[in-house]
Structure 1
Amino acid sequence: MRVTGRATTLSWIPSESVGNWLRGGFDLGLSHYDDPPRDVVAGTDDVRALRDDDRFRFANVLTGWAEFGDGPTTAGYGEDSDLFMGSTRVRLGVGTATFLGFTLPVLRADPEISQDRVVLRQTVGGRTGVPLPRPVKHPPYVRWHAPIVWTTLRLTLTRDGGRNVELVGASAFPRHWVYDSDGRLALKSGLTLLQDWMDHSFGDRTPWGDQDSPALTVAAESAAERSLSSSIMTGGVAPEVTRLPEGTAVVRQGDVGTDVHLVLDGVLDVRVDGDVVAELGPGAVLGERAVLEGGRRSATVTARTAVRLARVPATALDLDALRSVAQEHRREDPPAAPHA
């Protein structure tokens, strides 16, 4: 039996992920933020078209196959497994200049083959062609080139037809979205750490120096949440954006609440009666149940990492949209993922 699979990451720069002195350059148009990628990526040709349309910074496409039979299992990487590096547009005076990215060699581990399972692993990355001079915390203490970005994907193929996709390593910046073998958005990197990336992601502190960074990932939010998040960020009422440290309780079970929150960055734990029942990451909406069901929070939501949140009053949002989010949450398999 032949099993084939695909794993894809698209890496992009959300506006809320850029801070400190870099934000001024973005806001002046010297570089640009990215719109969120699509929910579905059909295949390699689709990734190539998105790159040519400047829809992401870089992509990791890992394809592979495994042949399971009565004899020894065989496996390999697909010919279209590769890095797709984007370019950077910079506004100069009345025009723009495009800088092609610098690519690093694709790193592929030998397939791990057993009788009933095959594991494929691929790392891709590089850096923008635009210089980023800055002080750093390691020799030589000053860097001219931009830091390295990368993702490491693991694709597991099993005899029963399983095709499991994981993001097992990634640079701390930018945001990484992960798509499964059917091309559907499945996972997101949970946290962007711009300063850490600028301070550390070069030289030996990259996979090309034998040092990867574990990726903190969370399940992608529902389609209804993605639609509602656009209303929160671009609706008639400007959201209040807050940054909260690790350990902060955003809402508490039983409290009265009329605001709705959108997670922009970071990971939060959802607790009901003290037990962790779910985790929330970028793109998740919380607070809709209190608005729809009597005004009291149904759970305590605590920041597992530092987080950035956008908050708007529920009166600024469409009630049908809130109901759609609540309905999708209730359709999840147990244990349910209640939102405060």
Structure 2
Amino acid sequence: MGTRVVESSVMSLSWIPSEAIRGFGKLPFSLGVSHYDEPLPAQVDDVEALRRADRFRFANRLSAAATFGDDGEVLAFRYTGGAVTGATTVRLGGLGATFAGVAMPDLRAEPVVGDGWVRFTQTGGGRTALPLPRQTSRPPYFRLQSPVTWSTLSLTLFADGRAEYDLVGASAFPRHWVYDADGHLVLKSGITDWARWTSQPSWRHTPWGDEDSPALVVAAETALERELSHRIMRAGQRPQVDNLAAGTELVRQGTPGDALFLLLDGVLGVDVDGARIAEVGPGAIVGERSLLEGGLRTATLTALTAVRVARAGRDAVDLAALAELARGHRREEGNGASGGTGPRPAAIPAARRESVTA
């Protein structure tokens, strides 16, 4: 009887973007005691190099293998990889020191075996080694120890060589980006909530205790959107950043518009003629059609969660690149996602798939 071995992996990297912290939490970053992280690359080929460069706080790498028989029967399976701890660099008086994070033990669920498939689930994370004075939601209402950061990944291997992956849980902070087996950025957590994260009472209110937090997941933005996002946020004049509560309209279909928006955090719903056509998350650029064409908004954008958006006018963007982005969004209209805001359909996909080598 012949057999087939299917192997794959999925990895999440947790990092702190510059717009993710508000209020007094910004103080150590403003003083240079701690630091924000540069946005991670869209392609990761050497996670160890990123770790040495202090580019992320924690990495959760789930690797697994399964052996299938000719009839698809699962003959054997095993986990083959675990989490990687990042570091935090602190600077005082011109001197710097790097402190490795404190890892929590990997949590690996017993694999679930089905007809021609096997699913693995792993939680990885930890806390920074440095103290973080904070108020908590339960007694003793104050702690010096930093909260726990984590992500929970699932990976399903199939007898035909496919793999499906998902981000099924994550801490409210920081941002979690998910990479497939080839190192491509494929998913993002949609929300970073500093206040909720810092109010974490103790490790008992994490997956190592008695609870997990479902992750609101959105698809990764396009390479062109990443390039434009970098230009908008690194322009000579910093863009205006607006905070919207859930349920608030950002723009309404049929009204004039002279700016586009870069979604920094949260999820926006995109509606055309009263029908929901897409939901987009951090990194998405919306509203470019009215800016380019000087016309009316062709979709209504509504905050489905609390969101932060950067507002940019014509002088803050590369109009040629923006026109190319708009053309790509028009192509999506032909696939049933009409509307000038340029959403990616199915921004919160039900399943993430890839082919793997047997």
**Range class of TM-score, shorter chain:** over 0.9
Q: Which amino acid aligns with 1:74?
A: L
Q: CA RMSD in A?
A: 1.6
Aligned residue in 2 for 1:191: 191
Larger mean CA deviation between 318-327 and 290-299 belongs to: 290-299
Report how many residues are paired: 336
| SS of the residue 1:215 aligns to | coil
CA contact (8 A) 1:62 1:77 kept: no
Aligned residue in 1 for 2:298: 298
CA contact (8 A) 2:330 2:340 kept: no
Deviations 1:256-293 (A, max 9, x none): 11101000000000001111101111000011111234
Measure, in 2, the Cα distance between the counterparts of 1:219 and 1:325: 17
Aligned residue in 2 for 1:320: 320
How far did 1:339 drift?
Answer: 4.4
CA contact (8 A) 2:138 2:201 kept: no
Measure, in 1, the Cα distance between the counterparts of 2:287 and 2:242: 16
- Classify 1:75/1:61 alpha carbon distance in 2 versus 1 (closer, same or farther; 3 Å): farther
Matched, 1:38 2:41: yes
CA contact (8 A) 1:68 1:115 kept: no
Deviations 1:218-257 (A, max 9, x none): 0111111000001111113320011011111111111111
Deviations 1:178-225 (A, max 9, x none): 112222111110000101001126232100003110000101111110
Measure, in 2, the Cα distance between the counterparts of 1:212 and 1:339: 37
Aligned residue in 2 for 1:76: 77
1:140-155 aligned at under 5 Å gives the runs 140-155=140-155
Matched, 1:227 2:230: no
Deviations 1:286-324 (A, max 9, x none): 111112344211100100001001001123322111112
* Structure 2: gaps (5+ residues): 342-358
How far did 1:118 drift?
Answer: 1.1
CA contact (8 A) 2:272 2:338 kept: no
Q: Which amino acid aligns with 1:326?
A: A
How far did 1:49 drift?
Answer: 1.6
Measure, in 1, the Cα distance between the counterparts of 2:5 and 2:123: 24
Aligned residue in 2 for 1:336: 337
Aligned residue in 2 for 1:26: 29
| SS of the residue 1:38 aligns to | coil
Q: Identity over the aligned pairs, expressed in percent?
A: 52
Aligned residue in 1 for 2:253: 253
TM-score, normalization: structure 1? 0.95
Aligned residue in 1 for 2:237: 237
Deviations 1:48-78 (A, max 9, x none): 1211111111101111122222363034344
Deviations 1:122-180 (A, max 9, x none): 00011000101222121222212100000000011122322111000000000000112
1:74-153 aligned at under 5 Å gives the runs 74-79=75-80, 81-153=81-153
CA contact (8 A) 1:270 1:339 kept: no
CA contact (8 A) 1:41 1:47 kept: yes
| SS of the residue 2:282 aligns to | coil
| SS of the residue 1:188 aligns to | strand
Matched, 1:308 2:308: yes
Measure, in 2, the Cα distance between the counterparts of 1:272 and 1:166: 29
- Classify 1:331/1:183 alpha carbon distance in 2 versus 1 (closer, same or farther; 3 Å): farther
Deviations 1:70-99 (A, max 9, x none): 3630343443x1111111111122211222
CA contact (8 A) 1:85 1:101 kept: yes
CA contact (8 A) 1:278 1:337 kept: no
Measure, in 1, the Cα distance between the counterparts of 2:164 and 2:298: 33
Measure, in 2, the Cα distance between the counterparts of 1:339 and 1:230: 22
Q: Which amino acid aligns with 2:12?
A: T
- Classify 1:201/1:175 alpha carbon distance in 2 versus 1 (closer, same or farther; 3 Å): farther
**Which of these residues, 13, 22, 34, is aligned with residue 10 of structure 1?**
13
Aligned residue in 2 for 1:175: 175
Measure, in 1, the Cα distance between the counterparts of 2:123 and 2:247: 32
